[in-house]
Amino acid sequence: MQPRDLSDHVAYEAGRGIEEVARELGRDPSEFVKLASNENPHGPSPAAADAVREAAGSVSSYPKSAHTDLTDAVADRWSVDSAQVWLANGGDGAIDYLSRATLEPGDDVLVPSPGFAYYGMSARFHHGGVREYDLERDADFAQTPETVLSAYDGERIVYLTSPHNPSGSTIELADVERIAAETDAETLVVVDEAYGEFADVDSAVSLLEGRDGFEARDDIAVLRTFSKAYGLAGVRLGYAIVPGEWADAYARVNTPFAASEIACRAGLAAIDDDEHVERTVETARDSREYMRERIDARVWPSEGNFVLAAVGDATAVAEACQERGVIVRDCSSFGLPGCIRITCGTESETERAVETVNAVLEELAPEREREVTDA
C-alpha cells in the first residue's frame, strides 16, 4: 500500500529556527538572532498573549462562540458581511479553502515565480495543475497586468501577492481590476495581502465591495493573516475575504472548527491592539530603509517586513551569516540562488544583520566578483 503519486509535489521549506541551528552547531541559542521567517521582532500583541493565558482553561471546549466573535470582528474591521470572512488555520489554510471551493480535477492555477510555494502545493493537493508567470529581477519584480495576462491561459485561479514575497513589490488596485476584467468570468483572482499592514497601498477588499471609485466584483478574493503584523505566527490564524456570492461555500469546504479556541481568542485581542501593529510597522519601515542604505549589495525596494538582497552565492552567504549568529533566508528555494531575504528586526537586530552581511560579503568578495564576471 502506497500513497498516491506525489512526484510532482514539493515540500515547503520553512526558515530554520534558532534552537534547531544552535543544536546543529553545538552553540547556545542566545548567540543567535533569527531574521529568516518574517516574524514579528516585538513578539505577539501583548493583549493577545494575555488572552491566550486566560483562554488556557477553556481549551476543552470547541471554539463556537470565539469563532463567531472573531469572524464578526474581522468583518467589522473591513466593513464586509460576516459570511464573507473565511477563518482558517493560517493563510495557507485559507488558500486550501479557496482551492476546495474552486478547483475541479485538472483545473490549473497561475502563480508568480518567484513566489510562495504553497499556492501551487495547494492546487496539486486538490488535483489541480500549476502554471507560472515570471517576475523579473531586472524589472524589480514588478507585477504588471501585462506580465500576468501574457502568461494567462484560462486558469481557474490567478494568484497575485501584494506585497510580494520575497521581493516586497506591490500591485496597484487598478492593475488588479484590469487583470480581473481581462480574465475569464470563471477565473478567481486571489490577492495575497499577508504583508498588507506594512505597505502603502490600499487593500483589494475595495474591489470586492465597489469602494474608492471601483465597481464591485465577484471574481476577487483577498487573503490576510495574523502571523506578521500581529505577531501570531505560532497560533496559525488567517482568513480569506470572498465575494458575497461565495459566502455559503464556506460551510461546505472548511474543516470542523477552522481555527482553534486559542487562536480565535488571540485574534480577538490582537485585532484591536493598534498600538502593537503601529509599532511593528514603524520598526519594519525603519529597518528596511536602514538595510537598503547600508548593505553592500543590491537591495530591492520593499513594502513588506523584509528585504531581498543580491549577494552572489546565497547559500554560502546564508551559511556564513549563520556561523556568525545571524540566520537569514537563502532564497534558492524561491529560484533565486543569488539572493538572501532578511527580515526586518529591532534596531539592534537590524544593525547586527547589516554588519554581519557586509562582513561576509567582504570575506567572499573575490568569489563574488568571479561569479558576476561569469554571469
CA nearest 160: which of 133, 137, 183, 139? 133
Q: What is the pLDDT of residue 1?
A: 85
Per-residue pLDDT band at 212 (split at 50, 70, 90) = confident
Q: Looking at residues 219-228, what average pLDDT do you find?
A: 98
Lowest mean pLDDT among 249-258, 260-269, 313-322: 249-258
Percent of the chain with pLDDT strictly greater than 70: 97
Q: Is the pLDDT of residue 373 over 50?
A: no
Mode of pairing for the β-strands spanning 157-161 and 108-113: parallel
Q: What is the pLDDT of residue 366?
A: 63
Q: What is the pLDDT of residue 213?
A: 87
Q: Do residues 220 and 207 make contact, with C-beta atoms less than 8 angstroms apart?
A: yes
CA nearest 338: which of 346, 326, 330? 330
Q: What is the pLDDT of residue 368?
A: 53
CA distance 59 to 99: 29
Per-residue pLDDT band at 375 (split at 50, 70, 90) = very low
Q: What is the pLDDT of residue 345?
A: 98
CA distance 344 to 201: 19
Mean per-residue pLDDT over the chain, rounded: 93
Q: Is the pLDDT of residue 52 over 50?
A: yes
Q: From edge to edge, which strands make up the β-sheet containing 306-310?
A: 298-299, 306-310, 339-343, 329-330
pLDDT in tens, 175-185: 999 999 999 99
Q: What is the pLDDT of residue 229?
A: 97
CA nearest 201: which of 237, 227, 163, 234? 163
